[in-house]
Structure 1
């Protein structure tokens, strides 16, 4: 839609004055302007006519917002924002001040963008982090999951009320029961409160680490990121093909730093004893029980174990 200036620029002489008065009369009858005058009875008509350009933008934005076509197709001059008129008294003179204000859709998008900036994912399907969450749906998908879901909900609530503890969660269960989804939900909800987080899909991460052997800068940055973030999630631990270097120098270093400092979370198909057997075996040195136990000493005491029962959701899709 053309601006008021563009409309009036097409006119000259008497027609300009006449059309300006007609537009001002129309604006004074506009529902949004009438509402403004009702809220501010001190506004005199002469002041409103002096601010006809602001009134035009204000009324036009209000009509667009009333018929909002969505944020991506916002027709307002400043996408995702609308003109708001405020009355101020400066040196005893009443003035009409225009400000651009973000709409609810724009505010929600800004909040979601801020949340995404707090979360880093490595090799995890982005849909698990961005498809949206509904607590009723999470609980209702499979009632067998209720005890585990309640425990995740309780953890989130406790963090909101009391801050981050040193302990994380160890979520284990069968294939396709929603472990990654639940941990992504936890990460998203705690990012809303301002916490940073990293989620790592272990099989792909371990393979990628081999390429970082020749890139010490990237390796150091990755490890430091995992050490420093508020919440770290190792997704599908136990499914990776371990080497002694990854187990002892990468995982060991990260977990040694985080224990007693920041919570670490895990999803796995193994219970803790099964994970210890897995961590005791590497493709190079075979079984080394003491090294697996050493790593478990940095995992088991610092998690609450959550057994996720339920049906394979992938087969139901």
Structure 2
């Protein structure tokens, strides 16, 4: 932002600096913001304004910039997202003016959004889905056919806000494109706002990448520990992955075994729970193993509220 000194230097050279300063003082004295300041602090006289001309100029200019805000990314003030505030105090029997920088509402809103985003990690899930902001009315009215599922989701969010982290998660089942991932992203956003961390994992890609992580034990351990410890864990599109016994029993099994009765785990799937069990019973390497499938499902079924998501397929549809 241009300082008062720079402004005075830019005026026509025929005017001396003292006269220019007096002219600027007269303008500031008549400004409604300065009048309000003097009403609040009656001891602020013209002499004090003159001695603090640059400070008062910055106060008025930045206030006017904020009143006509062009957007945070092109903020014209000295410090992006901040403006100058002035207060008066008596020191050694004389009034003094002091200024301080204050964060504007848009800067605070951006900080809040960044804090929410920092609490949510995604693996192979489109970041755009996590950045979109919707209200509860938005998700209800986007497809009235899934209103029952949305109601269950909103009640779950309210319970967690009121009573803290739940032991049970949600199992969202339904056909392709009904918005299951979208609803899970909404849940993560809403609960991140009250301080909970979250991870969402797209299972088909995650399982494929686990094959390479077998050769990076340090990275594998770090990934598994993150999924164990996060407050809210979402396995997105579970049942669509190509399973092998190691992924099922030693990775997924270890994560679920740790989380059950500790922290909630959430799922989206095109399968209902019975069909998911059949999926887990077969691997390309070992063929059918019902016992191993039952073992995994014993760590899923008792710890989820089943939610059927109905509605139309929204993929490819223009918003």
Alignment TM-score, normalising by the size of structure 1: 0.96
Equivalent position of 1:139 in the other structure? 140
- Name the CA distance, whole Å, in 2 between partners of 1:236 and 1:78: 45
1:148-159 equivalences under 5 Å are 148-159=149-160
- Name the CA distance, whole Å, in 2 between partners of 1:307 and 1:138: 16
Equivalent position of 1:46 in the other structure? 47
Equivalent position of 1:294 in the other structure? 295
Equivalent position of 1:37 in the other structure? 38
Point out the more displaced range, 243-252 or 37-46.
37-46
Equivalent position of 2:18 in the other structure? 17
Equivalent position of 1:188 in the other structure? 189
Alignment TM-score, normalising by the size of structure 2: 0.95
Equivalent position of 1:252 in the other structure? 253
Specify whether residues 45 and 219 from structure 1 end up closer, same or farther in structure 2 by C-alpha distance, changes over 3 A only: same
- Name the CA distance, whole Å, in 1 between partners of 2:188 and 2:266: 10
User: Shift of residue 268 of structure 1?
Assistant: 0.6
User: Shift of residue 13 of structure 1?
Assistant: 11
Which string of whole-angstrom CA distances, capped at 9 and with x for unpartnered residues, describes residues 91-134 of structure 1? 55432221111111111101111111111000001111002112
Equivalent position of 1:3 in the other structure? 3
Equivalent position of 2:85 in the other structure? 84
Point out the more displaced range, 87-96 or 77-86.
87-96
- Name the CA distance, whole Å, in 2 between partners of 1:166 and 1:3: 58
Unpaired stretches in structure 2, ≥5 consecutive residues: none
Structure 1 stretches of 4+ with a deviation exceeding 6 A read: 10-14
Equivalent position of 1:107 in the other structure? 108
Unpaired stretches in structure 1, ≥5 consecutive residues: none
Structure 2 counterpart SS, 1:111: helix
Point out the more displaced range, 192-201 or 136-145.
136-145
Structure 1 counterpart SS, 2:185: helix
User: Shift of residue 7 of structure 1?
Assistant: 2.9
Point out the more displaced range, 181-190 or 9-18.
9-18
Equivalent position of 2:29 in the other structure? 28
The yes-or-no answer on 1:225 pairing with 2:226 is: yes
* Number of equivalent positions: 317
User: Shift of residue 14 of structure 1?
Assistant: 8.2
The yes-or-no answer on 1:202 pairing with 2:203 is: yes
1:262-273 equivalences under 5 Å are 262-273=263-274
Equivalent position of 1:59 in the other structure? 60
Structure 2 counterpart SS, 1:316: coil
- Name the CA distance, whole Å, in 2 between partners of 1:293 and 1:89: 76
Specify whether residues 14 and 147 from structure 1 end up closer, same or farther in structure 2 by C-alpha distance, changes over 3 A only: closer
- Name the CA distance, whole Å, in 2 between partners of 1:34 and 1:53: 17
User: Shift of residue 37 of structure 1?
Assistant: 2.0
Structure 2 counterpart SS, 1:234: strand
Root-mean-square deviation (Å): 1.7
User: Shift of residue 41 of structure 1?
Assistant: 2.7
Specify whether residues 166 and 91 from structure 1 end up closer, same or farther in structure 2 by C-alpha distance, changes over 3 A only: farther
Equivalent position of 1:164 in the other structure? 165
- Name the CA distance, whole Å, in 1 between partners of 2:42 and 2:154: 50
- Name the CA distance, whole Å, in 1 between partners of 2:159 and 2:228: 23
Specify whether residues 88 and 158 from structure 1 end up closer, same or farther in structure 2 by C-alpha distance, changes over 3 A only: farther
- Name the CA distance, whole Å, in 1 between partners of 2:164 and 2:205: 32
User: Shift of residue 42 of structure 1?
Assistant: 3.3
Point out the more displaced range, 231-240 or 72-81.
72-81
Structure 2 counterpart SS, 1:86: strand
User: Shift of residue 266 of structure 1?
Assistant: 0.5
